[in-house]
Amino acid sequence: MRKVKVLVVDDSALMRKIISDMINSEEDMQAVDIARNGQDMFDKISKHNPDVVTLDVEMPVMDGISALREIKKRNLNTQVIMLSSVSVKGTALTMECLEAGAFDFVSKPSGAISLDINKVKDELIEKIRLAYNKDNLASVEIERVKPVRKSLTNKIEAVVIGASTGGPKALYSVITALPEKLGVPVFIVQHMPVGFTKAFADRLNSNSKIKVVEASEGDFVEKDVVYIAPGGYHMEVQSDKKIHLNTEPAIWGVRPAVDKLFISASKVYGSHLLSIVLTGMGKDGAQGTVEIKKNGGITISEDKSTCTIYGMPKAAYETGMIDLIVPIHEVSAQIIRLVGGR
């Protein structure tokens, strides 16, 4: 069996050992080498031609974002998973890395005997496998239907969006293209751990015409605001037109879950709701899509041609409840068209 070749890049000797041990404990992958900074990394990439690089965000000599940009510039055939600390600087840099083309990121464990080591290991191993199998997962063929199931003339009063792997970059392209006065609120669930959604919301806000915030419990829903669900909390909209957060059990292994948002918003907005399922692994959002369509809303899924992982949009499509299949670069235009935004 061919093993997935992984290069571990981190300025901490302890972290290099922890991450290498995690990788080498799996039968289907191998840490082929280590590097202590971005410059050191390129010698090792030339030597080993790794399938995946785990790349520390904050390093001396050449940091993670500079190293990632150079990988993309050189068009190297390797996927990059960032490892980031939950710090103000670390989370902000991680958002930059995702926009610059990193496959995904994992929040770093805090030490060799940390309680979160096993959780981090499971997440890292899963993401290495996903990154390695990216092209196979994205190329699943589907039987296409006519993209419009009916004339879409509903008056839209709210937009809900769900995304996972590849979502930050996809959402950046969508949200930064929306006008300041869209005329409706937008609610987003992006699968992301605690500590990173604030940096994600801040980065979107600073680069968008429309206002973007990390949602808080009890926020009054306002038009022309994009609400990002905070990591670790399900986000729901209720009949009082306020945002409600909770720590009920994870759905599909995630919290926040797209289905929680979609189903709650469908009860409030009925046929005046527009839902969009973007790139990601798994089936979160499919059940919510069914509920939205049952209540007369409009449903969109991202076309497989632009997905990092064609999992969530495929699951939504396979419910038979999708109205439009749209590549990512056309999503914002469809939102504006369907909402009638200015």
Candidate list 63, 219, 259, 284, residue with the active-site label? 284
Query: Judging by beta carbons within 10 Å of its beta carbon (0-12, 13-18, 19+), is residue 73 exposed, middle or buried?
Result: exposed
284 in catalytic set: yes
240 in catalytic set: no
164 in catalytic set: yes
Candidate list 20, 84, 85, 164, residue with the active-site label? 164
Amino acid at 6: V
Candidate list 191, 266, 301, 303, residue with the active-site label? 191
d(CA 325, CA 258): 18
Strands (E), 238-311: 243-246, 273-277, 298-302
d(CA 107, CA 325): 33
231-266: burial string, b at 16+ Cβ within 10 Å, e else: bebbbbbeeeeebbbeeeeeebebbbbbbbbbbbbb
Task: Return the DSSP state at 108.
Answer: P
Helix (H) or strand (E) holding 235: strand 234-237
β-pair partners for 226? 186, 212
d(CA 178, CA 148): 23
Query: If you search the block for the tokens 């038009």, which residue do you land on?
Result: 223
d(CA 227, CA 239): 17
Active-site residue set: 164, 191, 284
